[in-house]
Amino acid sequence: MGKTGKPELTLSTHQDSSLVSENIDDEEATISPTSSTMSSASFLDPIETAAGLENIFDMFVYVDGRRFLKDKDSKCYLPCDEQEAYRTYKRHYLYRFIWKGNYSAPVLEELSFGARVLDVGCAEGTWLINMSSEYPLSTFVGVDIAPVFPEVTQKNVAFLQCNALDGLPFPNDTFDFVRQGFLIVSINWQEWKDKLIKELIRVTKTGGYIEVMDVDIKYYRNGGLSKYLTSFLTEHFEKIGINPIASRDVLKAFEDLNDVVTVSPIEEKIHPFGSWAGKLGEMSSEGHIEAFESLEALLCPALKATKEEYRQMLIDLAEEYNRCKTYSKTYRVLVRKNKDL
């Protein structure tokens, strides 16, 4: 069990491989939980802790038993409930393994001796909990529009519900390290480029680092079903102003501000799906299918499919991933702030 009382994944490698080539050996990586069963992690119920029963109907809408945030300014199309929090909790450990760590920024010394760290779009907060355990002298703050925060936290962690597009509620030059993860496909791209990128820079101290980590909705060596679903999702996201393949655009957005930041070359890692890539591929495929399950309320009516047809589609998709040896890429964009905007 981890320090938060949640089952933590133990990550180990048979060989030192960064999984950056197309030919990924089955035996290069294994991922196994420390406990034999992965019971649901414990998260605060936002009905009880944030809104109160009197505000439940203003804050959430329920679709097929899943709870969604009701916010006219939010592009969040994923559920806001404990099931989704547990999915993103597991996702954290998967990507920590892929990247061989929680971050790429050269901030080890600062974290070890006491830094201020902000996670924008922190979701259920696993990255923060993980980091706060590793660096007890540093202070960690997470913000998210949806209040699904962990029930047990270390004393050096705080969470705040807010819409980052309305501005981050912190003074200029507050944080040594600002991190944004898995937020690009949940936010209007133009607003990110016009508003949030400037907020990330504003609250970072001069000399501090900003790291954006995400995935592109783009798949390699994929079959017909994957191409169909990817094409549909890409079209849907573009219609509502979301950039589904944003890695190079994120990099360019920072490069356009090169008078105030220094931009490092983009980093990428392979993210394989299916048992052809060993335990890593199996868990990646499982997590990806769970993400599609979270999209059921959105995709079923749009695809004009019944629930049964959609769920069979996901079974077929997992088989196709393995057969085609499909993979995607995850990226990190790292910048250093040189001066204020």
Asked if residue 166 has pLDDT above 90, the reply is: yes
CATH superfamily of 9-20+34-337: Vaccinia Virus protein VP39 (3.40.50.150)
Q: Cβ distance 89 to 290 under 8 Å? A: no
pLDDT level of residue 55 (50, 70, 90 thresholds) = low
Where does residue 228 rank: exposed (0-12), middle (13-18), buried (19+ CB within 10 A)? middle
Say what the pLDDT of residue 2 is: 40
By CB atoms closer than 10 A (0-12, 13-18, 19+), residue 329 is middle
Q: Which of 49, 36, 34 is nearest to 3 (CA)?
A: 34
For 178-200, what is each residue's pLDDT tens digit? Answer: 999 999 988 999 999 999 999 99
Could you tell me which residue, 12 or 124, shows the higher pLDDT? 124
Measured distance CA(307)–CA(300) in Å, rounded: 7
Instruction: Report the alpha-carbon distance of residue 253 to residue 248 in Å, rounded.
Output: 9
What is the C-alpha to C-alpha distance for residues 85 and 81, in angstroms, rounded to an integer? Answer: 6
pTM of the full structure = 0.83
Average pLDDT over residues 109-122: 98
Structure-token match 């009880």, residue found: 48
Q: How far apart are CA 238 and CA 334, in angstroms?
A: 25
- For 116, the 3-state DSSP assignment is strand
**Banded pLDDT at 58 (limits 50, 70, 90):** low
Shortest CA distance to 46 belongs to which of 124, 114, 111, 133? 124
